Each structure stands twice: as structure tokens, then as C-alpha cells.
Amino acid sequence: ELEMRARTAYRAKRLDEAYALLTQLHELEPENGQWLERRAQCLVDLKRFRDAINDFDAAVDLYEPEYKSLGLLSNRALAYEGLSDWNGALRDYDEVVRLSNAVDRAPPYVLNSRGNVLCSLGRYEEALESYRLATETFQKSRNLSGAIYARSNAALMLAELGREDEAIAEFEAVARRAAGSIDARAALAAMRWSRGEVEEAETTWNWACEKINSGVLTEGGPALDGCALYRDEDWLRRIRRWPPSMVDKQMRFVRLR
């Protein structure tokens, strides 16, 4: 009964309640690592990243040495990311990729997240490869939105590496395939502005912000301005995680236009 209540609370996003119930389960069965692993996931969602890592580590100590939980590794990597511990996150993502490749291919979300970490470490060539693998894997599973996101990330790496013509071609391909992609068009606008293509930059930006951005993401939901995020330097760097040169191009575009 406690387990069902914990699961129900977690699914309903009642995270504090789920955490308390999982704590009770851990106290009843202190040698069962799954309760610590599940509690750690609650802590990740609560953004208590250091506590989450402690619980993940304690769960690993309770599991048999030969048992490897891909979910634990992936989620602990997220906790490391929350602490901006990119090397810690990369260790866990690399391990997921290694273990997954032994039986099939790594989950595309892991490959994309691994690319994000490599980008944060300034390892742009490796990030590009990880994003391209993520794109290919998303496509094979017919996940169009995931493939578009990963391909856009790969294009950002091309731009950061100075391969601007290739990056623009990729962003244009993403924009054609995903008519609603503000991200690709914002990047295109920034790149075109930086090349002195002022009219093309303005046209691309206005298309994204006037024709695509309806301002409402869900029916009956609040009105939001998706384009506003692309004027927010902190969001671009820390949340969307564009690479440095692209953030600089975007900020020059939105401030000088």
C-alpha cells in the first residue's frame, strides 16, 4: 500500500508526499536499494541535487556489484548537471552509452543530454557527434520532435566550430521540416545579422515571432511569448544552453536591431 501511495503521489507531482512515503519504505526495508533510488528521483525533481546524489550513491552500495541501473545513472547525471558538475554528469552518461551499446544503442535523450554536457565543457566536436547520433536514433524511432531538437543542437555546434555555411544549411533544413521551430529561426536570424544580411535576419525573426509564436502553448493556458526567451541571455546560456558565440550573436541582434 505504501508503494502504491508513493507512486500515485509522484505521478501527481506531490513530491514532498512521495518523498516522505519513500522514506517510510526505506526505513521498513533499509537493505532495498530501490527505495533510495526512487527517493533520489524525487529529490532531483525537487532540485535537491546534492541530496539526490547521496541517495543514488547509497542505492548503488546496496545493489549487487554486477547490477547496473541505466535509469539510476541517467538520473544521477541530471543531478550532477543541476550542480553544474559537468564531469560527473559526463561519467554517468558515458557509462549509460557504453552499457547500452553492448545490447543496442543508447537512448536518444541520453545522447542529447551527453551533447549538452560536452558543450558545457567546450568539447564541441564531441558534442556535435553526440547530437548527430541522437538525431539518427530519434529518427529511427520516428520521434520527429526529438530529432528536430537534436539536429538544431548539432547545427549550433557547427556554428560554434566556425562552420557557418554548414550550420545555416542545417538550420534552414530544420526550419523547413519543423514549421513551428522558433529555435532554428532565432539562430538563423542571429547568424544572418552577424553576416550583415540585415533584411534576411529581420524577415526570419519576424516570421518566428509573428507567424509562429501564437503565445498560447496549451488550450486555455496562459499567454506566453516564446520569442521573449530568445531575448534573455541567462536563459539562452543556462537553460537552452546555446554555445557562447551563438549567444553573443543573438544578443547583438536583439539589442541592436
pLDDT band per the 50, 70, 90 thresholds, residue 103? confident
Given phi > 0 = left and psi -120 to 50 = alpha, else beta, which region is 122?
A: left
Per-residue pLDDT at 65 exceeds 80: yes
The 3-state DSSP composition of the chain as helix, strand, coil percent (nearest 5) reads 75, 0, 25
* pLDDT tens digits, one per residue of 169-223: 999 999 998 877 889 999 999 999 999 999 999 999 988 787 665 443 344 444 3
Distance CA 257, CA 54 (A): 48
Burial class (CB in 10 A: 0-12, 13-18, 19+), 202: middle
Give the ranges where 103-181 is alpha helix by DSSP (H): 108-120, 124-140, 144-160, 164-177
Q: Calculate mean pLDDT across residues 64-84.
A: 96
Is residue 67 left, alpha or beta, with left meaning phi > 0 and alpha meaning psi from -120 to 50?
beta
Query: What SS3 state is found at 14?
Result: coil
Task: Give the max Cα distance, the chain.
Answer: 67
pLDDT tens by residue, 4-32: 999 999 999 999 999 999 999 999 999 99
Tell me, what's the pLDDT at 104? 78
Residue 219 has what pLDDT? 43
pLDDT of residue 212: 61
**Is it the case that residue 98 has pLDDT exceeding 50?**
yes
Express as a percent the part of the chain with pLDDT over 70: 94
Q: Is 78 exposed, middle or buried (0-12, 13-18, 19+ CB in 10 A)?
A: middle
Mean pLDDT of the chain: 92
What does the angle CA 198 – CA 128 – CA 68 come to, to the nearest 5 degrees?
145
pLDDT, tens only, 31-40: 999 999 999 9
The three grid cell numbers given for residue 164, joined into one nine-digit string: 557557418
Question: Is the distance from CB of 168 to CB of 232 less than 8 angstroms?
Answer: no
- Residues 152-173 have pLDDT tens digits of 999 999 999 999 999 999 999 9
DSSP-assigned letters across all residues of 32-50: -HHHHHHHHHHHHHTT-HH
Q: What angle do helix axes 244-256 and 144-160 make, rounded to 10 degrees?
A: 90
CA separation for the pair 57, 241 (Å, rounded): 27
